[in-house]
Amino acid sequence: MIGSLLLMVLACGGGDGSAVPAHAAPPVHASAPTAPTALTARTDMDVQAFAAKVVEGVKVVDVRTEREFAGGHVTGAINVPLSQIGPHHPVIEALPKDQPIYLICAVGGRSSQAADFLASAGYTTVNVLGGTSAWISAGNPVER
């Protein structure tokens, strides 16, 4: 059994790597950081750094539901629920692509999805890590 397994590994190119097709992608190392590119201009930011940006008057899109948004949100945020996020939504379409859009939700999952989607559509996006929960926990004010 071990002998036939060894033969299969060698036959499939598991020996010295010489049987790997020329078009195969190089291995990706999990520890290598990825920088934003023109196609995926998305970054992440913690709430402390985000608080400084809010003071500057940046564009903040809250992707939570309307009900969640009404319960309390970052002052000046615009509500566009994740289910409506897209480059052709009137609110999103009106935002400039050359300025960052800060995306926030409850804890960061939905805003991460929205940030990736809008980045793939050519927007520069920033996902707020920890979301509104982290924002409130840090003692920052909310608007109702």
Asked if residue 79 lies in contact with residue 105, where contact means CB atoms within 8 angstroms, the answer is no
- Beta strands 59-62 and 125-128 are unpaired
Higher pLDDT among residues 36 and 117, named by residue: 117
pLDDT of 104 reads: 98
3-class DSSP state of 43: strand
- Residue 64, φ and ψ in degrees, nearest 5: -75, 170
Q: How far is 105 from 28, CA to CA, in rounded Å?
A: 30
Q: How far is 63 from 81, CA to CA, in rounded Å?
A: 4
Domains, the chain, ranges and CATH? Answer: 39-128+140-144 (3.40.250.10)
pLDDT of 40 reads: 55
pLDDT digits (tens, 9 = 90+) for 82-112: 999 998 999 999 999 989 999 999 999 999 9
pLDDT of 41 reads: 86
pTM of structure: 0.73
pLDDT digits (tens, 9 = 90+) for 37-79: 444 589 999 999 999 999 999 999 999 999 999 999 999 999 9
pLDDT of 5 reads: 32
Q: Which residue has the tokens 């409130």?
A: 136
Give the H or E element holding residue 101: strand 101-104
pLDDT of 75 reads: 96
The whole-number average pLDDT for the span 13-30 is 37
Nearest to 133 by CA among 114, 102, 108: 108
Q: Which two tokens stand for residue 84?
A: 């409506």
Q: How far is 95 from 32, CA to CA, in rounded Å?
A: 32
pLDDT band, residue 118 (cuts 50/70/90): very high
Residue 105 one-letter amino acid: C
The whole-number average pLDDT for the span 6-28 is 36
